Amino acid sequence: MNEIQEVASPQTEDQPPATILFVDDEVNVLSSLKRLFRPFGYRIFTAEGGAQGLEVMARETIDIVVSDMRMPEMNGAQFLEKVNERWPDTVRILLTGYAEIGATIDAINKGHIYRYISKPWEDNDIVLAIKQALRQKQLEQENKGLEELTRKQNEELKDLNANLEQKVKARTEEVRQTMGFLEVAHEKLKKGFITSIRVFSNLIEMREGVMAGHSHRVADLSRNIAQQMGMKDAEAQDVFLAALLHDVGKIGLPDYLLEKPSANLTSEERIEVAKHPVKGQAALMALEQLNGAAKLIRSHHERYDGLGYPDRLVGLAIPLGARIIALANEYDAVQIGTLLSKRLKQADAVLFIQEGRGLRYDPAVVDAFMIVMRSSGKVSQPLVELALRADQIKSGMVLSRDLTSGHGELLLSKDHLLDASLITQIRSFKQAGEELIIYVYDK
C-alpha cells in the first residue's frame, strides 16, 4: 500500500502543520491511528514497513515517526536506529508490548527514542504523548535559534575594529540583550519541561477516583522532607520529579487494580502490581534529565528492613530519595485507601508512619517527616504521640493510651509514668511471645 497523506484542517501560513509518519505492518492499526489523529490538523503519512518508511522519510520532512516494534524484515528498533542516523532531529516513538522489554531497551539505546508506548494504547495517552513531543521539539528549535543568533553576533564582535569604541559598546549591548533573551528562553524551556512532567504525572490520575491528586501530594511532601534533611537543590528536584512520576509504571494496569487496596490483592495481582517500579524506570530511560529520578522510582517500594521490592535492598543501601518517597507515598496511600483495607484519618496515618520507624521506614526520614508535620501545623504541639516497641521505651515516658495485651487485658492505664521496674516487666512480657506497641507522649 502506498503511503497516504492527509491534512485534517487548515493551518496558518506562518505555522505549518506538524508532520507525523506511522509505520506498522498491520493496515487496521494504521487506519485506527489515522482516524484518531485526523481531527488535530497534522499532515499524516503511513507506511507498512521499515523500508517503505525510509522512502517516505527521504521524500518528506517528518517531525515525528511512530513505529511498531514487531514488523517483518526490519523491526522497529532497527528502523528507528536508521532514522536516528539519517534524521536525528525527527522525534522517534516506539509502540511495543511489555513482553518485548529487551528489544525495547535495545531500541532506546540504539535509536535514542523519545519514549515508548505500550500496546494496546489508551487514546488519551498516545494523543498526549504526541502533543508533548511536538511541544518539546518546538522549544528545542527556539532555543537552538537563539543560540545560533548569539554565535553569529559573537563572531561579528571579533571582527570589529578595536578603535571603534562606540560601535563595540553598541554591539556589546546587543549581545547583553540577546543573552537576556536566552535566559528567558531557557527559563521557558525549564518551565515547559516541569509542566510536561506534571502533565505526564496526571496520566495515572486521568481515571479519577481515589487516585486523583495522589502524585502531587506525594511530590510536595517528599520535597519538604528532602529540604528538611538538607538535600541539595538538584537532589531535592530529582526527589520531587520522581515522586510526581512514581506511579507511571501503573499506566498499563486495569482500573480495578489501581483502586484495589494493596492489602486485598491476590498473590497473582500482587505480582503484577509489583512490576510497576521497574516499568516506571524503563519508561524514563530515554530522558537524560530524568535518569536520577528513574533510579528513585525503581526503589520507592523498598523497605528499610529489606522486605520491599524489587531488589530487596536494606537500610542505607536504598537511595535516600527513594526512602523519602516510600514514606510520603504510604502516608497518602493509607488516607485514600489504596494501601490498607480501610482509610485512616490523618492522625492515625501519622501513627502508622511512626509504628513503621526502623521497619518500613528510615528512622531519620520519619524524624524529618514529623518536623515537617509539626511546622505545617498538621500535628499538634507540644504533646505528640509516639508508637514505640518495648525496646525503645525509656524511664520518664508517660503512656498516651491504655496498654493492653493482644487479648484485650489491661496491663497499664493511660497517663501512667514508666519507670525502670515497669519497663523491665513490659520487656519480659514481650519475651513471653507477644509483641507490644506502647503509645507514649513525645514531650
Which of 330, 203, 310 is CA-nearest to residue 262? 330
Give 428: exposed, middle or buried? Use CB within 10 Å, 0-12, 13-18, 19+.
Answer: exposed
**What's the pLDDT at 189?**
47
Buried b (16+ CB within 10 A) or exposed e, 347-358: eebbbbbbbbbe
Q: Which CATH number fits domain 382-443: 2.60.40, 3.90.105, 3.30.420, 3.30.70?
A: 3.90.105
**What's the pLDDT at 145?**
80
Which pTM does this prediction carry? 0.46
**What's the pLDDT at 146?**
86
CATH architecture of the domain with range 210-380: Orthogonal Bundle (1.10)
**What's the pLDDT at 185?**
44
DSSP string spanning 340-376?
Answer: SSS---HHHHHHHHHHTBTTTB-HHHHHHHHHHHHHT
How many whole angstroms separate alpha carbon 367 and alpha carbon 354?
9
- The half-sphere exposure of 305 on its side-chain side, counting CA atoms within 13 A, is 7
**What's the pLDDT at 228?**
94
**What's the pLDDT at 274?**
84
**Residue 388 to residues 23, 361, 393, Cα–Cα distance (Å):** 60, 14, 7
**What's the pLDDT at 202?**
59
Quickly name the fold that domain 6-121 has.
Rossmann fold (3.40.50)
**What's the pLDDT at 186?**
42
pLDDT by 10-residue block (mean), the chain, 443 residues: 43 71 93 91 92 93 91 88 91 78 65 80 89 86 83 74 61 62 48 57 55 83 94 90 86 76 84 87 79 90 94 95 95 89 89 93 95 79 74 86 75 81 82 73 72
> Would you kindly state where each structural domain of the chain is located, as residue ranges?
6-121, 129-201, 210-380, 382-443
The answer to whether residues 299 and 355 touch, using CB atoms and an 8 Å cutoff, is no
